[in-house]
Amino acid sequence: MARFLIVEARFYDHLNDMLISGARSAIEAAGHACEVLTVPGALEVPGAIALASESGHYDGYVGIGVVIRGETYHFEIVAGESARGIMALTMDGMAIGNGILTVENEEQALVRADPQQKDKGGEAAKAALALYELQGRFAA
């Protein structure tokens, strides 16, 4: 049984709860265990994953959060840099699924976060699971 860490940028509680529910369900359905770690924002997700990876306690990671476009350029920085940080870690061989939603409004976020609709938390967990399986395939 593998251990996965869900790292969430908690800002929109109701949306994060749905994303975590989807991610947790996908990981547990695959027969693995998971924990949740909360960080202040989406920009901290890659750093927290990097720090957690040093412990050797986890086999894979899922980044969770919601970034909704506002009136300033800040949205682009948060969305782009959090994705870049996760991608850099993935390119270094870590099994990470990116479930940080970057949307125009809360309506879009609700549809994507809801496990009964687009289930982006579950999709991110499935991506992490797929990369974890590839690690095992190529390690042999």
Catalytic residue chosen out of the listed positions 14, 32, 57, 74 = 74
Q: Is 68 annotated as a binding residue?
A: yes
Residue 98 among known ligand-binding residues: yes
Dump the DSSP string for the chain.
Answer: --EEEEEEE-SSHHHHHHHHHHHHHHHHHTT-EEEEEEESSGGGHHHHHHHHHTTT--SEEEEEEEEE--SSTHHHHHHHHHHHHHHHHHHTT--EEEEEEEESSHHHHHHHH-TTTT-HHHHHHHHHHHHHHHHHHHH-
Is 96 one of the annotated binding-site residues? Answer: no
Q: Is 42 assigned a ligand-binding role in the annotation?
A: yes
Residue 20 annotated as binding site: no
84 among the known binding-site residues? Answer: no
To the question of whether residue 11 is assigned a binding role by annotation, the answer is yes
- Is 74 annotated as catalytic? yes
- Catalytic residue annotation: 74
Binding-site sequence positions: 11, 42-44, 66-68, 71-72, 98, 112
- Binding positions for 5-amino-6-(D-ribitylamino)uracil are 11, 42-44, 66-68, 98
Query: Which parts are annotated binding residues for (2S)-2-hydroxy-3-oxobutyl phosphate?
Result: 71-72, 112
